[in-house]
Structure 1
Amino acid sequence: MFQKKYRRTLVVGIGLMLIQQLCGASGITYYSNAIFRKSGFPERLGSMIFGVFVIPKSLVGLIFVDRWGRRPLLLASAVGMSIGSLLIGVSFTLQQMNVLPELTGVFVFVNILVYFGFSAIGIGGLPWVIMSEIFPINIKVSAGTIVALTSWTSGWFVSYAFNFMFEWSAPGTFYIFAAVGGLSLIFIWMVVPETKGKSLEELQASLTGIN
C-alpha cells in the first residue's frame, strides 16, 4: 500500500476524507441548536426545519453524480460550502457590530441550509464513492481502513473542537471553515481525478502514471 505508485491514490482518498470533515459539517450538525441560539433564531423551529431538510438533501448527490461526474460536483460543493461558511461568519460579525441584529438569525439559518445543500451534492458523500473506485483490489481493504480511520478521527476532532472554537469566536469559527473550503477547491482541482465512466485500469494508469 505504501509503494510509490500508490502515493497519489492514497493522497486523494485521505485528502477527500479530511476535506469532508474539516469543512465543519459534523460540528455544525451537532451544535446546530447552539448556533441558532447564538444567532437569535428560534431553536425549536430551526431544528425542525433543519431535520426535515437533511432527509431529501441526501438524495441530491445520487441524482446528479452519474450525470455531471464526480469532479464538477466536488468543485461546486467546495465553492458553495465555502461561501455558505463565509456568509455565516459575516452574519455573526454584523451581529457583533449591532448591524441588523434582528436579521442575524434568518441570515445564519438560510446560509446553514445553503452550506448543507452544497455539501449534499459533493463533499458530503462523494468521497466514499471515489474511495471505492480508485483503490485497486490488492490494497482496497488496508487503504479503505486508513481512509475510514482518517474520516472518523478528523470528524471526532472537529466535533470536539467546535464548541471551544464557537465560544472563542462565532464568526472566526466560520471564517476558518470558509478558508478550509477554499483550500479544498484547490486540492480537488489539482489532485482529484474524474472517475465517471472510467475502468479501474484507466484510473490506475492516470493516478500512477503506469500504462
Structure 2
Amino acid sequence: MQRLLPDALSDRLREMIVEGELSPGEKINERELCESFGVSRTPLREAVQALAKEGLIQITPRRGARVAPMTVEDLDEVFPIMGALESLAGELACARIAPNQVSEIRVLHNAMVTAYERGDRHSYFHLNEEIHDRIFKAAGNQTLIQMRRGLAARVRRARFRANLSAARWKKAVSEHEEIVAALEARDGPRLSRLLRDHLAGKLDTVRAAIRAEMAEREGAAD
C-alpha cells in the first residue's frame, strides 16, 4: 500500500471505525495497522490521538487504545445538538442557495438512489454525506459549519449503522426525496423540520439496536 500522510491516515482509520471495519471495543493493533498502511508507529499514534479527540478512540494508560463504544447516553447527548444544527442549516440554505447548487444536490440524490437500488451501502453513505455537506455549504455560515464539524465523527458512525436496517434504509431514501423536494421549493420551515426528523429517526434506530445488543449480552451472561 502507498504510504499515507498523517491526515490521510487519520481519514482512513476514521472510515474503518465509522463503517464498522474496526468494531466498538476492538483493540487498536498497532503492528497490524502499521504493516497494512506501510507506516511507522509514530504517524499511526498521531492519527490515534487525533481520533481520540474526536471521541472515536479511547486511550487507557498501559492498556493501549480501543475503538470507543457507541452508547445510548452519548447519542442522546450529541444527536439533539446535531439535529438543531441541521435544522438551522436547512432554513438558511433555502434562503441562500443558488439554482446550480440545487441542481447539483438533485444529481447527487439521484446517484444515491441508484446506489441504494444496487445495495451499495458504501457509495450510498458517501453520497448521502455529500448532500448534507452541500446543504451546510449553501447555508453560508462558517460558524455553523465549524460547530457541525466538531460533532460529525460521533454522529457519522451512528448514521452509517442506522442504514444497516433494511426498513430504516428504505425509509431514509424516501425522507431524502422529501428533503430535496423541500430544498427545490425553497421551503425553509419544511426543510428544517424534515432534516431534524430525519436525524431523529436514525437516532431511534441506533438506540434500539444498542439496547437490543445490551440485552443479548446480559442474557448470555446469565
**TM-score normalised by length of structure 1:** 0.40
**TM-score normalised by length of structure 2:** 0.38
Highest relative contact order (Cα 8 Å, sep 6+), 1 or 2? 1
Relative to total residues, which structure has the larger helix share, 1 or 2?
A: 1
